[in-house]
Amino acid sequence: MKIKKIFSVVLLRQSFLVLLAFMVFLPLLFLNLRNDHDWGDDFAQYLEQAENISLGKPMTQTGYIYNPEYSSLGPRAYPPGFPLMIAPIVAKYGNFVVPYNYLTSILLILTALLAVLLIYKYSGWPAAILLSALIYYNPYVIQLKAEIMADIPFALFFAIFLLCISRAEVLKKQNWIFAGLVAGAAITTKTIGLVLPLSLIIYAMQRIIIDRYNKISIKETLPAVKGHFYAALLSMGIYFISHIIFMRGAVGGGYLNIFDFGKTSEAIANNIYVYSEAIRLFFINPDSPLFWIGFPLASLFFAFFITGLVLSFSKIPALIDWITVIYIGLLMVYPYHNAGFRFLLPLAPVIMIYSLKTLQLLATSKSIQWITSGVSILILITYLQVMPGYFSSEDKFEDGPYATHVEDAFAEIASVTSEESRIVFIKPRALARFSGRKAMSHHPLSSSFEIYNELNPLDPTHYLVYSGLPDPALEHYLKTNQHSTRMIWRDEFFSLYQKIN
């Protein structure tokens, strides 16, 4: 009876703390709701793919003409997970941004709550809530949640998976099936989710090798690792089935085209610097008069994270260690350097966990709670300077496809061109979505000769230049090829040229 009473008290306390965490993160639902979107035109392709799904059309039939010489702009089609998620919203609200903001905000709140659950056993509840607030109230994340992008949904699936496998040794078969389903959802949201089944297989093989070294037969080991293989196979099955159903027509336009394996060492060198700085700068808010607080504390976070990760591999690595190191390893070789902390967002709770593991070597558990809570509060204070601006952002319109002068220009472009037109523009997916015309782009560092060689196989009919997004390469191309182009329309901001055959 006494045990039952103690259990009830513990359960009540846990429920109260979860409710408290929920109340802490609920304001995220109302921060930075916008009626516009910036020029990062990944969102336009997501909207187009989602609309195709809602209309029963092939997902890959967007107006974006993929340029294999500029593959880093974006693939021929993104994985179907996020377009499937927003397809009902697109069907009802079209390009209206606010409903997507609400969806992303809800997913972010859920991610924050899962981060609390992941962190608390290393720090206790108060510090876990504060450390999670440090991540998800960060001004960078508040800005990111206004983007119609797959990063926050992917971070949610990633966090669910980490929570699933946090006690991998005692998971039942149905739990492994759930873990496989979550991993499959992660892969269909962002391809880097392949890290999850890969880590499961590597961890299972590690267990088999260690047991063989200790003269334990495979027959005895298999019951302990078969769940890992089930989950990995299930997630890969989901990936391949979704690829067959939704990605037809996207062959040859995927992420592998971005890689130049002859420059791998250069990519690694650049990415070590880029992501080290991304982690450090994540905790520094330059808009706060107290920004200097973040410099020493951010450096400590980074140092403690790396130390904790290295120490984890000084003994037998756990599954979360393999997930972390493989994820970081893929980021290191990926030849794209402009994502900032966005690609690291799924690892944010893990960064906190490894930092806490290092701190555990230096302080008592009670001291850790005080230290982490104090550090979190200091950095959270630096966020306060910019928070008021996020409560009234719906009425603000920044330069982008939703700006009035851009909407008017795209409407005019649609009226002076035919549906068969193929327009070269620096943001082709936004142009395709908001003008209804097919669009392509060139590599921004191309010479005039290279632009011609890139675009000629794609058969462009028009070229569009916008003063708000300087495109020196295309402008130079138009100047040096005046004999084969002519201006057919212009306004204060845009100039549209037609190719003369």
* Pairwise pLDDT comparison (256 vs 203), residue with the higher score: 203
Instruction: Give a yes or no: residue 228 inside a domain.
Output: yes
Range of the domain at 445: 404-499
Query: What residues are paired with 463 via a beta bridge?
Result: 424, 497
Residue 7 confidence class, pLDDT cut points 50, 70, 90: very low
Among candidate residues 160, 148, 161, the one with its CA nearest the CA of residue 85: 148
Last residue of a domain, one of 229, 252, 275: 252
- Whether residue 319 is predicted with pLDDT greater than 70 in this model: the reply is yes
The answer to whether 321 and 210 have CB atoms below 8 angstroms apart is no
HSE-CB at 393 with a 13 A cutoff on CA atoms is 21
Of 188, 222, 252, the one marking the end of a domain is: 252
Helix (H, G, I), strand (E, B) or coil at 5: helix
> Is 422 inside any structural domain?
yes
In total, how many domains does the chain have?
2
Reading the block at residue 128, the tokens are 């876990």
DSSP 192: G
Per-residue model confidence (pLDDT) at position 254: 63
Domain-embedded: residue 205: yes
- N-term to C-term CA, the chain: 89
For residue 427, give the CATH number of its domain.
3.40.190
499: which strand partners?
A: 485
Given this model, what pLDDT does residue 175 score? Answer: 85
For the segment 57-78, what is each residue's pLDDT rounded down to a tens digit? 988 889 999 999 898 888 889 9
Contacting residues for 44 by C-beta, under 8 A, at least 6 apart: 401, 427, 429, 430, 432, 433, 434
Residue 5 predicted with pLDDT over 70: no
pLDDT tens-digit series, residues 333-376? 988 878 889 999 999 999 999 999 999 998 887 888 888 889 88
Residue 267 resides in a domain: no
Q: List, for residues 144-202, the tens digit of each pLDDT value.
A: 999 999 999 999 999 999 999 886 655 677 788 899 999 999 999 999 999 999 999 99
pLDDT (0 to 100) of residue 364: 83
Residue 462: inside a domain, yes or no? yes
The residues, any chain, with a CB within 8 Å of residue 163's CB and separated by 6 or more, are 114, 117, 118
Identify whether 207 is part of a domain: yes
Considering the domain boundaries, does residue 353 fall inside one? no
Q: Which residue has the tokens 């969102």?
A: 43
> Cβ distance 64 to 74 under 8 Å?
yes
Residue 267 near residue 335 (C-beta atoms within 8 A): yes
Whether 332 is covered by a domain: the verdict is no
Confidence of residue 394 (pLDDT cuts 50, 70, 90): low
In percent, the amount of the chain with pLDDT more than 70 equals 92
End of a domain among 190, 220, 252?
A: 252
Model pLDDT, residue 123: 84
Q: pTM for the complete prediction?
A: 0.93
Nearest to 348 by CA among 327, 369, 371, 366: 327
